Amino acid sequence: MYTLDETHDPDRTSWVGSANAPDTDFPIQNLPIGVFRRRGSAERWRPGVAIGDQVVDLFAARDAQLLPADVAASLAGCEHGELNTFMARGAPARAFLRRALSEALRSGSPEQAALSPCLVPQAEIEHALPCRIGDYTDFYTGIHHATAVGKLFRPDNPLLPNYKWVPIGYHGRSSSIGVSGQQFRRPVGQTKGAGEVPEFGPSRRLDYELEVGALVGCGNEPGEAIEIERAESHLFGLVLLNDWSARDLQAWEYQPLGPFLAKNFATTISPWIVTMEALAPFRSAWTRDVADPQPLPYLDSADNRRQGAVDLRLEVWLQTAAMREAGLPPERLMASNFRDAYWTLAQMVAHHSVNGCNLMPGDLLGSGTQSGPGEGEGGSLLELSRGGQTPVRLSNGETRTFLADGDTVLLRARCERDGFRRIGFGDCAGTVLPARVR
């Protein structure tokens, strides 16, 4: 599906020294795109590309005529700090930008002197959402999560009959999606205890969900399905996504129409969109047994079987208020791999549009919680604490069944493969504030 070229060459280094550190998320082989400005400034939001611990200010580079004309032209329409028009231009515009920046940032590039003034240290910036997200859809592709959560409710029959046929998804809330660094109040609402009358108050079972988000590049016309063979050409790239969830609100409200207030108070995504081109070396075979059951034809293709998955290691880290005050760093709670999802990105796109639903540039598709198959690989506290029964012990002596006020949850991810430079996603961080006093 994707071509490997000189931009993936593991021997290519950058004149930005920090990009050559072995543990950086942003070597010259990554070049993810986001929207930023100098922190606390009144600058207009602008597109930028991460390189090591720096950002290339794309508007500064364009205004200094350091971008090829076609690349500069492809950024027209992003003046309001939203990448939607660039995203709508699809793979060619992304590939031109990638090649131009890889060439300009590589060691020995004649553009080093001219481009250096266009760099801004990441330590000095703040992010906005990279695009206007018109619609946000959340899928449920993590079969280990679906099974674990199903077991809490239906021990004998955890997976519903449609799970292995239908890439289950539902619509989420766009207005409350924030970028890494988002802080939100603990949600308040109805919960149902043993009594006849529901209780009302702050959620006591607040949770995170470890997800991957796919952003749509070019969309489709209403009534025109996207065939699976071309589904990935409609994707721009991936981010990390935390689908914060209030389990007690969810249990009481979700029948028969699905989660609502349990989810729509906040959703956090990471700021840098890792493009489909950057992910090319890390594609892997669709791991599930394709005979169990054979997917319907609109969800099946040779390419999807061969390399529909993404070998992407995912991690959840937690820093409590006490840890922060004691100067302790975040602590890792678990790790899983996006490769283990039951449905692929291409299947999500093909399914979403098969009925004629139109996808738009900038739309966000969540993967659903990505739990691993093993013990302790749950992508939520609901799983790690077995429904709140078994507290998770932290190394400073604290325990958690669900999130406490002041907790910061960080999602992290990286792709690694022998013969290629490792690439990462940066942090997707969010912090729980106390509930609003009424």
331 is in an annotated binding site: no
Per CB under 8 A, contacts with its own copies among 41-60 are none
Q: Does 128 bind its own copies (CB under 8 A)?
A: no
CA distance 262 to 185: 13
CA distance 207 to 333: 13
401 is in an annotated binding site: no
Q: Does 170 bind its own copies (CB under 8 A)?
A: yes
Q: Which of 202/281 has CB closer to its own copies?
A: 202
CA distance 283 to 98: 19
Instruction: Report whether 236 contacts 309 (CB < 8 A).
Output: no
Q: Which of 356/376 has CB closer to its own copies?
A: 356
Does residue 144 have an active-site annotation?
A: no
- 145, 234, 351, 352: which one is catalytic? 145
Kindly state the greatest CA–CA separation across the chain: 74
Q: Does 264 bind its own copies (CB under 8 A)?
A: yes
- Residue with tokens 């907790």, as numbered in its chain: 407
CA distance 29 to 35: 19
Q: How far is the CB of 203 from its own copies (least distance, A)?
A: 8
Q: Does 254 bind its own copies (CB under 8 A)?
A: yes
170 is in an annotated binding site: no
User: DSSP string of 360-400?
Assistant: -TT-EEE------SSTT--SSHHHHTTTTTSPEEPTTS-EE
CA distance 187 to 206: 8
Give the number of residues in contact with its own copies, rule: CB under 8 A: 66
Q: In one letter, which amino acid is 52?
A: G
Q: Does 157 bind its own copies (CB under 8 A)?
A: no
CA distance 332 to 344: 26
Among the listed residues 40, 222, 327, 329, the single contact to its own copies using CB under 8 A: 222
Binding segment for its own copies among 78-86, 293-301, 319-327, 384-392 (CB under 8 A)?
A: 293-301
Q: Does 369 bind its own copies (CB under 8 A)?
A: no
Binding segment for its own copies among 39-47, 113-121, 336-344, 354-362 (CB under 8 A)?
A: 354-362
Binding segment for its own copies among 71-79, 169-177, 335-343, 389-397 (CB under 8 A)?
A: 169-177
Of 33, 20, 31, nearest in space to 107 by CA: 20
User: DSSP string of 58-110?
Assistant: HHHHHHTT-S-HHHHHHTTT-TTS--HHHHHTHHHHHHHHHHHHHHHHBTT-T
315 is in an annotated binding site: no
Q: Does 291 bind its own copies (CB under 8 A)?
A: no
Q: How far is the CB of 387 from its own copies (least distance, A)?
A: 16
- The secondary structure element, H or E, covering residue 125 is strand 125-128
CA distance 235 to 90: 8
Among the listed residues 2, 96, 184, 317, the single contact to its own copies using CB under 8 A: 184
Binding segment for its own copies among 56-64, 154-162, 282-290, 308-316 (CB under 8 A)?
A: 154-162
Antiparallel, parallel or unpaired: β 408-415 and 125-128: unpaired
Per CB under 8 A, contacts with its own copies among 376-435 are 433
Whole-Å CA distances, 342 to 321, 370, 372: 36, 10, 11
Q: Does 140 bind its own copies (CB under 8 A)?
A: yes
Among the listed residues 22, 110, 155, 256, the single contact to its own copies using CB under 8 A: 256
Q: Which of 252/317 has CB closer to its own copies?
A: 252
Instruction: Report whether 146 contacts 211 (CB < 8 A).
Output: no
User: DSSP string of 155-196?
Assistant: TT--S-TTTTTS--EEE--STTEEETTEEEEPPEEEE--SSS
Binding segment for its own copies among 77-85, 193-201, 315-323, 419-427 (CB under 8 A)?
A: 193-201
Q: How far is the CB of 340 from its own copies (least distance, A)?
A: 20
Q: Does 114 bind its own copies (CB under 8 A)?
A: no
Instruction: Report whether 172 contacts 258 (CB < 8 A).
Output: no
Q: Which residues are annotated as a binding site?
A: 138, 140, 154, 209, 211, 243, 250, 254, 263, 267, 369
Positions that interact with its own copies (CB under 8 A):
134-135, 137-138, 140, 160-162, 165-166, 168-176, 184-185, 187-190, 192, 197-198, 200, 219, 222-225, 246, 249, 252-261, 264-266, 293, 296-298, 351-352, 354-360, 363, 433, 436, 438
Q: Which residues are annotated as a binding site for substrate?
A: 140, 154, 250, 254, 369
Catalytic residues: 145
